[in-house]
Chain A
């Protein structure tokens, strides 16, 4: 069986031939090695962050979470995303300011968390995720927390931690792998408690250590956790460590949120690395163009591809594709010619000619003009949009052009129509300027342009016209009915609806099952389907009343009757079917089926006659004559 023919897999594969998705998947294969470096000092446990949503269930007892918990949950979230999306990435989780020590160099105060069958820096496994989720309970017993740098000590856990992380990241070349250290801490001044020469010495050596690490092509990223009353002051120490200057410094901390959710959001977003899909030139007119990078911000996440295994050994199988000539049965090479039947002959094309046909535009993206935003109808959509942002390598002039265009388009409420000459499907696109949206310090929408793929007339179907009423005007709702509908809409309002608030229940289930099987657990935990309607909310008296009023205003008093009968009128097809069955029943009575069967004369009847019996008894009528006969016999119990 061909993989593509597999029906139960099919539903996930809608976008299999989406070239952009392909590209982004390929690009995602650039690997990333990450070391999560988590401060485990007592300050991380003692500082808490009040939850801003006390109404959320389950949070009632402990409305505050410690910084340590926040860091753990962010990492856990990221690990889970990683095992689904980018399972070739490697991670290590490393705590510092710990009581116990466990690391390659056997340095004090640093503990590398790991599970069986796995290197310190390795791909995340089901076990790692599972045990990491349970880590918090056993943390104080197995790893233990410690104060940061205290007076009278020469131990420098931060220095040790960076060193350990660097050693972990030694494998792989910096040229093919993106190496990152993500540092979670809430201590803005790690050497604040020591003074004099010791302090300056520690500062100097730690900075030098960080610098050396960065020189090896490893980026160090700081994920500061701050509290409402005590803002993390990056200038005290960390600005030097991660190398921020001037404006960067201001921007970096401008985003210090107070709320727990915001902080989690912020952490989650900063843990991502941007991955470019493509870069190209956007030609506005002759002589003016902008260098753009494109990013896939929204793409359907699908369960990973399947691998066929030998059911005896559970070892992966290699698939081999062979081409045969249908006429001679000879094995052939994959040919570069294709054909299409036309006027009862086969027209042969070479793949070169085919790609030539698709080359209808010069350049990647040509501007055609602008239209008001209201002209972008809701049905002008075919696939997920692509985000465009000026490229790093662009010139000042090109950046300036982009900003000017971006701003003017927003001001004038226009979108741009352009032609995208991609090799897979050249098509018209709409470019919408998106202004930056920041909510409580978190970037919700990045500034840039969204490229929306427009349909051609070939892709649009005229459904509404098909169902227009031939008898003249159709009834439209009266003002009163519209008012009742409006009342209903007001009652069932989702105030802070955000597009990303639901997880995909099918995908969640898929990975729950896989995780349970991977860990050889017997029970598969039930997932909560977040996409179901809020039944409690819908049962609120005011909502129910609004629903009732709307119902009465449109359907009158006898809605229930109507819904029972459905629409009352069976469709033509079903009428026909019914008539056919009745006819078959009648015909069927003309035969003595029992005797025919006993005397073995069933096979002497025609297929049409056999079908009388089958349709008359609601049995399938498909198959060859023998199949029909045996079906009748089975049904009669003979």
Chain B
């Protein structure tokens, strides 16, 4: 992976615990058995990657100390005094094999000497110790001794010592990309006007993005060996009126949106008036840690460390962070990292008390939202849902058991899926694929590595082990019951206007869902819904008229076919829907004429009972007050059926 990040890094590989012996030190001074320099250090290339993929399996016991010395020797011979601090050793071992007794002094002394040498040569060493299931039959004594020795390394050379239990963590623990951190801020943490602590601020986390790939152009001739195949992007700004006219950069001015207006401001003007905070990191105060909730952290995280070498600053940071931890307090800071920056951030400083004696205490800093950044949506209480949604005692119990069973950090065992050791599966897969493609350009995307799949999917072992708990959980919650809300039913509720009491606050979202159904005619089953769907079709204006016409016919049919009024309620429902539709679509005349026509029709066919029924339900013509195009007054509308009723009496 080193390959992709920095092509000028040099990498060498030293294997130990091998059958053969092949290294310069053996040749020069003898000893150092079973250590093979597989690749002398050089600029990384595909060879190394290929060589790594064919690692021989070791047979002998490995002495990691020998290997470390060989590797050190390699680095010293090659680089000597240059490149201070950029030399890195990475020891990967299970530390289960004993190391040989030195010729003089104890093993501890030897290790210390080596470590001192390393520091003197400006090298760092990372040790990754694999503690898998293998460890069980290993010699406890040897392991303990080795641990002690490795600890000395870690302390003396200020590097990491990591224990990992599974391949994912090994993957994650291997820091391939060693980013030289850049200070975000260097200066004073101002506790008050008279007390300033010298600190350095760095990014603690920053998203490692998927590499930005360049756009590829195949226009260059095949024979051109020096073709870059790059695609250049060019932006042109053209005036809206004259699309052929390109406006040069010096004739452009930035406009900022403010409501419907766009306000032009030149950069110079903007610089003169914009918000310009003074550089500085200021304490606003301390507060209970419970006043800040975890989900309010906004961005990637910073770390504040006391200025190295400044003992007083180290002490001050240590005292504050320890006191804050004891009292469960956090500090609120206002930060402008650089001079000339045009915004500030408010954030929370939390203590990071170190449990290692050679690492100083520090703080983590998380940015908090401003008032403008928060959307205060309200959600119903979970207890407000109907009884069917509330879990019973047995369900709660099985949920609790389930949570306990799927424990990723069981007592006494190593925490799994620790972010610090979990690699990004997408990046890993990309590099794998990149390498694959370099050999076989037509290769298809490989499946996700088995090791990495444990990051994206639940561990099957864990579930299989406690099958019964999972089963009980599954049984308790397996999909039961009906959907909480049925949009269709609600819609009908809305339109069936029997008592005028139904829940009318249903959100219009339900209407939207209905839109997707393309209704082309009005059926017998759900005429109201069909009508509403049809009249709201917007793919052609004709649908409105067709819907109204069809609905009229339907109503006529119902009234005509009615046997002792059994169809009346349904016809009324349709009439109400039609009335609403006509108001909505500004077609009041359609409805009014129809109602009058229907009235006359009933008079003729001796169906006055229907008119009475309508009058009793309060159906009226559409007056001018409801639809501006209507020529019927309120009074007329109200009295139309009533009057005619009394007339017919």
| Chain A residues whose C-beta falls within 8 Å of the C-beta of B481 in the assembled complex | 395-397, 400
Query: Do the beta carbons of B252 and A326 come within 8 Å of each other?
Result: no
Q: Are B425 and A360 in contact (CB under 8 A)?
A: yes
| Partner pick for B299 among A357, A360, A383, A543, CB 8 A cutoff | A383
Closest Cβ of chain B to A442, distance in Å, is: 9
Q: Could you tell me the distance in whole angstroms from the C-beta of A439 to the nearest C-beta in chain B?
A: 12
Question: Which residues on the A side are within 8 Å of B305 (C-beta)?
Answer: 463-464, 467
- Evaluate contact between A385 and B297: CB separation under 8 angstroms: yes
Q: Select one of B259, B360, B424 contacting A467, CB under 8 A.
A: B360
Q: Does B525 contact A (CB under 8 A)?
A: no
Q: Which residue of A lies closest to B432 (CB)?
A: A357
Closest residue of chain A to B47, judged by CB? A343
Q: Are A467 and B217 in contact (CB under 8 A)?
A: no
The complex places the Cα of A369 from the Cα of B462 at a distance, in Å, of: 10
Complex partner residue of B508 from A178, A323, A349, A378, CB under 8 angstroms:
A178
- B142 at the binding interface (Cβ < 8 Å): no
Contacts of B438 in A (CB 8 A): 342-343, 345, 347
Q: Are B158 and A468 in contact (CB under 8 A)?
A: yes
A470-B156, A513-B273 known; A397-B504 Cβ under 8 A = no
Enumerate chain B residues within 8 angstroms of A455, measured Cβ to Cβ. 205, 207, 300, 419
Interfacial residues of chain B within 233-260, with CB under 8 A of chain A in the complex: 233-241, 243, 247, 249, 251-260
A327 to B346, CA, bound (A): 48
Whole-angstrom CA separation of A566 from B198 in the bound complex: 8
Contact sample, A vs B, 11 pairs, CB 8 Å cutoff: A327-B229, A396-B482, A399-B389, A426-B456, A458-B423, A460-B419, A496-B291, A506-B342, A532-B334, A547-B192, A550-B316
- Residues of chain B contacted by A434 (CB below 8 angstroms): 293, 295
Sorted from nearest, which 3 A-B pairs have the closest CB atoms?
Answer: A396-B481, A338-B213, A477-B319
**Which residues on the A side are within 8 Å of B105 (C-beta)?**
none
Q: Is A608 an interface residue (CB 8 A)?
A: no
Inter-chain pairs besides A318-B238, A393-B485, A529-B344, 13 sampled, C-beta below 8 Å: A122-B260, A125-B259, A298-B296, A316-B240, A322-B235, A327-B217, A334-B215, A342-B4, A400-B390, A419-B455, A485-B320, A505-B344, A513-B273
Interface: A141 (CB within 8 A): no
Q: Is the CB of A428 within 8 A of B195?
A: no
Taking CB atoms, residues of chain B closer than 8 Å to A361 are 456-457
Q: What is the minimal beta-carbon distance from A312 to any residue of chain B, in angstroms? A: 7
> Any chain A CB within 8 A of the CB of B375?
yes
Q: How far is the CB of A224 from chain B (nearest CB, A)?
A: 15
Nearest B residue to A424 via CB reads: B210
Contact partners of A401 in chain B: CB under 8 A: 391, 399, 477
Tell which of A399, A514, A556, A562 touches B263, judged by Cβ atoms closer than 8 Å: A514
**CB-CB under 8 A for A504 and B373, given A461-B181, A475-B311:** yes
Taken together as a complex, chains A and B put the C-alpha atoms of A129 and B304 apart, in Å, by: 43
Q: Do B373 and A432 touch (CB < 8 A)?
A: no
Residues of A within 8 A of B194 (CB): 544, 547-548, 551
Q: Are B329 and A489 in contact (CB under 8 A)?
A: yes
A85-118: CB near B (< 8 Å → 1, else 0) gives 0010000000000000000010000000000000
A636 part of interface (Cβ distance < 8 Å): no
Considering the complex, give the chain B residue whose CB is closest to the CB of A539: B193
Q: Is the interface of B mostly helix, strand, loop or mixed?
A: mixed
Interface check B369, CB cutoff 8 A: yes
**Is there contact, CB below 8 Å, between B219 and A330?**
yes
Residues of A481-525 contacting chain B, CB below 8 A: 481-486, 488-490, 492-511, 513-515, 517-518, 524
Residues of chain A within 8 A (CB-CB) of B263 are 514, 517-518
Asked if A619 CB lies within 8 Å of chain B CBs, one says no
Within the complex, what minimum Cβ distance (angstroms) separates B22 from chain A? 26
Known pairs A219-B508, A349-B213, A404-B395; A505 contacts B319 (CB<8 A): no
Once the chains bind, are A428 and B318 in contact (CB under 8 Å)? no
Q: Across the interface, do A8 and B271 meet the contact criterion of CB distance under 8 Å?
A: yes
| Known contacts A288-B477, A404-B396, A459-B205; A346 and B391 CB within 8 A of each other | no
**B366 interface residue per 8 A CB criterion:** yes
Let me know if B378 and A493 touch, CB within 8 A: no
The residues of B that contact A272 with a CB separation of less than 8 Å are 375-378
- The CA of A179 and the CA of B388, in the complex, are separated in Å by 33
Query: Is the pair B294, A461 in contact by a Cβ cutoff of 8 Å?
Result: no
Q: Which of B161-195 contact A (CB under 8 A)?
A: 172-173, 175, 177, 179, 181, 191-195
Bound-state CA distance A486–B265 (Å) is 50
B284 contacts the other chain (Cβ, under 8 Å)? yes
Contacts A322-B234, A403-B391, A532-B334 given; indicate if A428 touches B419 (C-beta within 8 A).
Answer: yes
Q: In whole angstroms, what is the CA distance A311 to B285 when docked?
A: 47
- Residues of chain A within 8 A (CB-CB) of B362 are 463-464
Chain A residues near B423: list those with CB within 8 A. 456-458
Which residues of B lie under 8 Å from residue A454 when comparing CB positions?
A: 419
Whether A407 is near chain B, meaning CB under 8 Å from some CB there, is yes
Residues from chain B with a CB closer than 8 A to the CB of A445 are: 293
Say if the beta carbon of A197 comes within 8 Å of chain B: no
**Distance, CA A427 to CA B207, complexed state (A):** 11
Given the known interface contacts A126-B259, A370-B406, the answer about A315 and B419 at a Cβ–Cβ threshold of 8 Å is no
CB pair A458–B208 under 8 Å, yes or no, is yes
Interface 9-residue window, one of B70-78, B94-102, B349-357, B605-613:
B349-357
Q: A211 to B493, alpha carbons, bound, how many Å?
A: 13
A53: CB under 8 A from chain B? Answer: no
B51 CB within 8 Å of chain A: no
Q: Determine whether B220 belongs to the interface, using a CB cutoff of 8 Å to chain A.
A: yes
Number of B residues, CB within 8 Å of A: 237
Contacts of A496 in B (CB 8 A): 291
Closest to B436 in A: A347
Q: Which of A122, A379, A562 is packed against the most chain B CB atoms within 10 Å?
A: A379
- B6 adjacent to chain A (CB < 8 Å): no
The CA-CA distance from A467 to B183 in the complex, in Å, is 13
A residues near B299, Cβ cutoff 8 Å = 14-15, 381-384
With A328-B219, A371-B409, A461-B206 already in contact, the answer to whether A456 and B318 are too (CB < 8 A) is no
Chain A residues with CB under 8 A of B463: 285
Establish whether residues A470 and B158, one from each chain, have CB atoms under 8 Å apart when the complex forms. yes
CB < 8 Å neighbour of B458 from A285, A404, A510, A555: A285
Give the contacts of B140-160 with A (CB-CB under 8 A): 155-160
B554 to chain A, nearest CB (A): 20
Q: Chain B residues near A253 (CB, 8 Å)?
A: none
- Asked whether any CB of chain B lies closer than 8 Å to the CB of A358, the reply is yes
How far is B342's CA from A358's CA once the two chains are assembled, in angstroms? Answer: 36
Q: Is the CB of A468 within 8 A of B359?
A: yes
Closest chain B CB from A209 CB (angstroms) = 9
Which B residues touch A87, using CB under 8 A?
Answer: 257-260
CB-defined contacts of A400 to chain B, threshold 8 Å: 388-391, 395, 477, 480-481
Interface status of A64 (Cβ within 8 A of chain B): no
Q: Which residue of A lies closest to B384 (CB)?
A: A251
- Looking across the interface, which residue of chain A has its beta carbon closest to that of B334? A531
What 1/0 flags go to A210-227 for Cβ under 8 Å of B? Answer: 011011111100000000
Chain B residues with CB under 8 A of A310: 239, 247, 251-253
Q: How far is the CA of A283 from the CA of B618 in the complex (A)?
A: 52
A474 and B216 in contact, given A371-B408, A395-B479, A463-B202 (Cβ under 8 angstroms): no
Binary interface profile of A, 292-327, with partner B (CB < 8 Å = 1, else 0)? 000111111101111111111111111111111111
B483 engages A394 (CB within 8 Å): yes
Question: In angstroms, how far is the closest chain A Cβ from the Cβ of B69?
Answer: 20
Cβ contacts B423-460/A at 8 Å (1 or 0 each): 11111011001110110010011001000100111110
Q: Which residues of B contact A446 (CB under 8 A)?
A: 377-379
Query: Are the C-beta atoms of B159 and A395 separated by less than 8 Å?
Result: no
Distance between Cα atoms of A312 and B323 in the complex (Å): 61
Bound complex: CA of A208 vs CA of B275, how far in Å?
53
Are B295 and A450 neighbours in the complex by a CB distance under 8 Å?
A: yes
Given A272-B377, A353-B445, A396-B482, answer yes or no on A497-B291 (Cβ-Cβ < 8 Å): yes
- A306/B422 in contact, CB under 8 A: no
Tell me if A505 and B275 are in contact (CB < 8 A).
Answer: yes
Q: Which residues of B contact A357 (CB under 8 A)?
A: 426, 429-430, 433, 445
Please measure, in the bound complex, the distance between the C-alpha atom of A238 and the C-alpha atom of B2, giving whole angstroms.
69
